[in-house]
Amino acid sequence: MTNSSLNQGQMLNNSSQNAVNIKQLTSILFHRRYLILGISFAVMSVASLLAIFAKPSYQSSMQILVSSNLYAGVDSSKVQGVADSEVKNPNVQAVDYTAQLKVMLSSQLIQKAVDLLRSSYPNITLEDIKGKKEQGETSPLNVNRLETGTGINKLASQIFEVTFKDKDAVKTQKVLQALQTVYHNYNVEQQNERLNKGLAFVNARLPEVKKQVSQSEKKLEAFRKKHNLVDPEVQSKILLQSVADIQKQLDITRAQLQDLRARQANLEQKMASSSENAIVSSRLSQSTRYQTLLNEIQKTELALAQQRLRYTEDSPAIANLKQQHQSQMALLQQETGKSLGEKVTKIANPQDDMLGVDSKLAEEIIQVQTTSLGLLANEKSLVESQKQLRVELSKYTSLIAEYNRLLPEVKTNRKTLEQLLQTQQSLGLKIAQSGFDWQLLEAPDQATYIDSGRLLLLTGGLIAGPILGIMTALILQLNHNVIYSAQQLQKLTNLRLLGTVPNLGKIGVKKRFSQMFWQKQRKLALVETSPWLPYHENLDMVYQNIQLLNYSLPFKSLMLTSTLAGEGKTALALGLAASAAHMHRRVLVIDANFQHPSLHKNLELSNDWGLSLLLVDEINTPVVEYIQPIHPNIDILTAGPTPEDPVKLLSSARMKDIIALFEQSYDLVIVDAPAILDKVDGRIIASLCHGIVLVGRMGKITESEVIQARDILSKLNLIGAIANHVKDAPKV
């Protein structure tokens, strides 16, 4: 079969595999004619029985206007928390019509109507009017809300139509009259009750709202006490101003530091120009008392800067620090003079004027350094204070958010309380007005005849029966696309049909080969072999058809596969081997189904060694050691133990070499391969064999599976198909 013919077959089946071809519709209906007729007859019978026992029914109706004048003139916008069905503006429909409909159909009201009808109908019950829901019956009593307008302007009105159906024309009108009386009494009873309920609702709501006001105020007060704040927003502004003031002080302090540093540099430059500067500086640095006094002055300056952040200049703490600072400065000057005086004594007297100048410069430098230290301490204190203020200020974001949540809650609850108090006064003035009003627009009319539906039942049965039967037939055809005939298989796949084979029973080889060789070769002794080798005359025809294919070279290796497992390809492989042996061909049957081998089971052979071990044999054991003969012309190579990676073995170069070796040693090599749709193993083996035969079991394979398998094998050497398990297969 060429690729072009396969492509043509594929084109014939590219339409939906499950779709019913229009041309096949007539044949499908003809095939399913008994099913269609049976369903049509059943539907018509049911419709006829229903029409025979159908009784005429009557219907009476009345109309009721449902409206509400409750709280007319009351501004409901002032009421918060009141139910919509209690307080509404009169310009807005205040009636819950769904609830009103349920009230009209309530068992409580209908039971009152039943009690009124007992005098005329002693056996009447609630179910006779309302119907039995558990039995799925349509309720005789129906209440529907009428609509006004047409099209997009259609709106539901305030009018309800009440209808009642029954076989008794008089009873339909009396039931509605009793319901009219019940509805009227109910309307009167509910007027004051609903009004009082509305006022009671407001009275019940007041304590709740007062409680909410109290709770919200307590939450706000607890917040203020917890954080020691009255208004976080105001306090945050104060902190922001403090941060800004500290920033200004920092700017001033840093400017002063910059000036002092410039002055110190100038003085140090002057000191450097003096010839005695090095001697004086060395002398001062060597004075232990001078360095100690200088450190004490720095500590005093730092303490004074910190205290000024906490106290005013008049504070005793700051005054003590100032006095201590002055005393330390005096001692420092004395120590400086003492240290410099001793040095001057050692130096010649002509240098007196120069030493006086150096002493003054040294004193100025010391004073500048001391002042700089104080400013540095002040700057550090200001930076620390600013950092603390910013940390404290960062907490105010969440505090302000919480405050802004608590404050509106208090205001809202207070406003709700005021509105409820105003509503309470307004409702007191409207207590005399009515609530929901049910007004009778049309009294219950006389019962009108309703068609019993006999004609509708018969017509519906006449139409629905065939339609239902045809639909059932088509659905069965769509959902059950199994192939049952060899002709259907050939037409669907457009493949060469190599033959049809019935169900092969377990016919022993003794009988098969005794017939074969006793008739053909009486001199050949019969070898006892497996009793499970199948045989059928049609297998000989299949083998002949394979041999008669117009190919340049005969098939040396032939792979048998199927769409899925269990279609009988193993039995057919053995049967073809028997037919080939009948033609004096030496045949080798290989079981290449590593996952589910069955050849050794059918022949009752050992599977301890086989193809899997042959492929991994590293000691070059002779191939003949793996072969198991069952007949002088038939050898078997079982699958062997299941390997870890079957795909790797089958796709190896050794597998290809083994197939080539067997093709040289035997006239025909038949490979029993796995199902082509189950695993990739079958596709790998197909590429190694000269010919591929697709086995299809009738009554099991489906159209979609066959087409899928054909598409996979069409790119390889697919020579045809065998229809297996064909009923009434012709014998040759």
Quick: pLDDT tens for 586-640.
999 999 999 889 898 888 899 998 999 998 887 778 888 899 998 889 999 999 9
Q: Find tokens 């309530």 and name the residue.
A: 106
183, pLDDT greater than 90: no
Q: Which of 298-302, 498-502, 520-524 has the lowest mean pLDDT?
A: 520-524
- Ranked by mean pLDDT, the top range of 156-160, 469-473, 519-523, 596-600 is 596-600
Indicate the pLDDT class of residue 438, thresholds 50, 70 and 90.
confident
Report how far Cα 550 is from the mean position of its chain's Cα atoms. Answer: 59
Given a contact cutoff of 8 angstroms between Cβ atoms, the answer to whether 639 and 607 are in contact is: yes
Q: Catalogue the E-assigned strands of 371-488.
A: 436-442, 448-450
pLDDT at 473: 73
278, pLDDT greater than 80: no
Length of the chain (residues): 732
- Ranked by mean pLDDT, the top range of 180-194, 357-371, 517-531, 574-588 is 574-588
3-state helix, strand, coil in the chain (%, to 5): 60, 10, 30
| Homologous superfamily (CATH) for 57-193+431-450 | EIF_2_alpha (3.30.70.1130)
One-letter amino acid identity for 258?
Answer: Q
Rounded to two decimals, the pTM is 0.41
Q: 389 to each of 66, 237, 250, 307, how far by Cα in Å?
A: 69, 12, 14, 18
Top pLDDT among 429 and 97 is at 97
Indicate the pLDDT class of residue 503, thresholds 50, 70 and 90.
confident
Indicate the pLDDT class of residue 13, thresholds 50, 70 and 90.
very low
* Opening angle at CA 619, ends 653 and 608, nearest 5: 85
| Homologous superfamily (CATH) for 486-724 | P-loop containing nucleotide triphosphate hydrolases (3.40.50.300)
Q: Do domains 57-193+431-450 and 486-724 have the same CATH topology?
A: no
Top pLDDT among 279 and 668 is at 668
Domain boundaries of the chain, sorted by first residue: 25-53+452-479, 57-193+431-450, 234-399, 486-724
pLDDT at 283: 66
Given a contact cutoff of 8 angstroms between Cβ atoms, the answer to whether 145 and 156 are in contact is: yes
Of 556, 541, 622, nearest to 587 by C-alpha is: 556
Dihedral over alpha carbons 673, 677, 681, 687 (to 10 degrees): 80
Indicate the average pLDDT of the chain.
Answer: 75
